[in-house]
Structures are given as C-alpha cells and as structure tokens.
C-alpha cells in the first residue's frame, strides 16, 4: 500500500456556529470533522460515498472513540489527519489526529465502519475496486 493513500490531511476553519459560549468547539462537532477527513480520504483514493452507494455498498459507523486534549477555537484553522489503520476486510478502520496551526494535537480518535450490502442489509467484504485502488 502506498503511503500517500494510507494517510491524508485536510484543513478546515472553525466556524462560529461550531463553538459554545466560551468560543471553543462543542465536543459533538468533532465527529463531523472526522467525517470530513474520512470522506476526503475516500475521494483522494478515487471513490466516494455516493459512488459506493450507487454500487449497493453502505458504510455505517459501528464504533467511534475520541480523546479530547485541547480545545479548538473559533476561526482557527485545524488539520484533520486521517490514517487507514489496516487493509479493509468486512470493515474499515481509521485513526484521526486533529491539530491546530501550531502543530498542537487537539483531539485523537478512531472509527470503524462496516461494509453493508444495501440490498440484503447484511455485512459484506470490502469491494474489490477499493482494495485494487489501495494496491495501485
């Protein structure tokens, strides 16, 4: 697996509506941040959630874990690093590191998503076209 597909980074700016009265990001907003990271990782791999759904593959989150270390604040640019943990099987697992422009780690996390056949609503193996993209 090439390193450039194993890990990806995306930067976003914290919006006012994502913060609380103290000007820090509300803890529940980190889940959409890692979703942005995951979605962009897939896009850079050469596929998308939309394409997967059109091919009958659903990818629900089955586990998520976040560890908050330091708060992100309004108008700060944060970097979301998405790291593929291992070659996917019937699930795909990512680690995440969210940091600020100073390089300080704000939040770390992990998520596991299951491959589900949308016709049968049953677990399935990772689609071949995704594994092929990871190998190329």
Q: Distance between CA 125 and CA 2 in Å, rounded?
A: 21
pLDDT confidence of 136, banded at 50, 70, 90?
confident
Q: Give the residue ranges of DSSP H helices in the chain.
A: 3-6, 30-45, 49-54, 128-135
Domain 3-135 has CATH 2.60.40.10: no
- The β-bridge partners of 64 are 111
Contact assessment for residue 98 and residue 63, using Cβ atoms and an 8 Å cutoff:
no
Residue with tokens 């099987």: 89
Across residues 92-106, what is the average pLDDT? Answer: 97
First and final C-alpha spacing in the chain: 7
Q: Distance between CA 20 and CA 73 in Å, rounded?
A: 9
pLDDT tens per residue across span 49-83: 999 999 999 999 999 999 999 999 999 999 999 99
Residues catalogued as catalytic: 20
Q: Distance between CA 51 and CA 1 in Å, rounded?
A: 22
Task: Delimit the domains of the chain by residue range.
Answer: 3-135
Across residues 96-124, what is the average pLDDT? Answer: 97
């Amino acid at each position: 697996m090439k390193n450039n597909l194993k890990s990806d980074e995306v930067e976003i700016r914290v919006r006012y509506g994502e913060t609380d009265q103290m000007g820090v990001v509300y803890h529940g907003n980190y889940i959409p941040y890692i979703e942005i990271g995951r979605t962009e990782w897939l896009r850079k791999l050469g596929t998308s959630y939309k394409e997967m759904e059109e091919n009958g593959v659903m990818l629900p989150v089955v586990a998520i874990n976040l560890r908050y270390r330091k708060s992100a604040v309004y108008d700060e640019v944060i970097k979301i690093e998405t790291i593929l943990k291992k070659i996917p099987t019937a699930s795909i697992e990512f680690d995440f590191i969210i940091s600020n422009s100073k390089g300080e780690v704000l939040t770390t996390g992990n998520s596991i998503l299951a491959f589900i056949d949308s016709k049968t609503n049953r677990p399935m193996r990772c689609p071949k076209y995704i594994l092929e993209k990871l190998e190329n």
